[in-house]
């Protein structure tokens, strides 16, 4: 799968980078993480090794079947939920009261995403 420039995609290619992102995020086994744009799942895999639950929101419909196949076991056990949707239209009231956002997001929507979470009922 090639990144779609129209969606600002830039897939992580190295597991070590994903692991460093997770380490810097400071998340642990009791945490729920909202991952914005899991793409091909490099960061998702690193998160699943460290946290209790991951909710991954992906806007690219072509990536959803691949994520379901790659992470079928984690989805079956409830450790991972894959949501097909645009983070910018997410109803933040539906988020758990305590969550962390960890993501490799497109730069052109970074400000919009930060504003979304700063104005969410559960920040």
- For the record, the structure tokens of 69 come out as 């196949």
- The reported pTM is 0.85
Angle, alpha carbons 67-64-73 (nearest 5°): 35
User: Which positions ≥6 away from 31 have C-beta within 8 Å?
Assistant: 51, 52, 53, 98, 99, 100
pLDDT per residue as tens digits for the range 33-84 = 999 889 888 999 999 999 999 999 988 888 899 999 999 999 999 999 999 9
């Amino acid at each position: 799968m090639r990144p779609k420039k129209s969606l600002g995609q830039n897939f992580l290619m190295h597991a070590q980078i994903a692991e460093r992102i997770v380490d810097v995020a400071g998340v642990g086994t009791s945490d729920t993480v909202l991952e914005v744009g899991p793409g091909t799942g490099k960061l998702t895999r690193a998160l699943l090794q460290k946290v209790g639950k991951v909710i991954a929101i992906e806007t690219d419909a072509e990536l959803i079947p691949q994520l379901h196949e790659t992470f079928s076991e984690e989805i079956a056990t409830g450790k991972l939920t894959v949501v097909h949707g645009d983070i910018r239209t997410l109803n933040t009231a539906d988020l758990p009261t305590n969550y962390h956002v960890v993501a490799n997001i497109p730069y052109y929507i970074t400000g919009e995403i930060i504003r979304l979470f700063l104005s969410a009922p559960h920040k």
